[in-house]
Amino acid sequence: MAKGGYGGFSGMGGMNMNNLMKQAQKMQKQMAEMQKELEEKKFEITSGGGAVKVTILGNKTVEKIEISQDVVDPDDVEMLEDLILTAVNEAIRTVEDAAAGSMNKIAGGAGIPGLF
């Protein structure tokens, strides 16, 4: 009974569990490295054909907003506000997409729930 019972199963399961733990640790290390790399990366997003440019870091910190003088119209402040809002929101989406893409590379497209 010892050969065909739980002893053989737990031995194989133990080996698989070790491999699984090593893979999980490797994935965790890769995720930390990619997150650090992403946080240091800069993204430049424009709206209004380049009228407003937002520079955002990978940690979603807006570093800089540049506004072309051509769009500064005291009679149409709402348009400028919309251009800024559009550029900032697109910048955030770009960072989130980059983060998701990086994590998908690590997970190998496994789609692990709660990972992102």
Domains annotated for the chain, with CATH where assigned, are: 6-107 (3.30.1310.10)
Tokens representing residue 6 in the block: 């739980």
Q: Between these two residues, 18 and 52, which has the higher pLDDT value?
A: 52
Please compute, for residue 38, the number of CA atoms within 13 A of its CA located in the half-sphere on the CB side.
20
> Is the per-residue pLDDT at 62 higher than 80?
yes
Q: What is the mean pLDDT of residues 51-55?
A: 95
Q: How confident is the model at residue 8 (pLDDT cuts 50, 70, 90)?
A: very low
Q: What is the mean pLDDT of residues 56-64?
A: 92
Provide the residue count of the chain.
116
Report residue 12: phi and psi, to 5°.
-70, -40
Distance CA 61, CA 28 (A): 24
Tokens representing residue 76 in the block: 């149409």
Q: What is the mean pLDDT of residues 76-102?
A: 92
Query: Strands 42-47, 62-67: parallel, antiparallel or unpaired by DSSP?
Result: unpaired
pTM for the model: 0.64
Q: What is the mean pLDDT of residues 23-37?
A: 85
Q: How confident is the model at residue 109 (pLDDT cuts 50, 70, 90)?
A: low
Give yes or no for a contact between 88 and 62, defined as CB atoms under 8 angstroms apart: yes
Amino acid 14: pLDDT? 57
Amino acid 116: pLDDT? 46
> Is the per-residue pLDDT at 94 higher than 80?
yes
Give yes or no for a contact between 80 and 67, defined as CB atoms under 8 angstroms apart: yes
Distance CA 87, CA 12 (A): 54
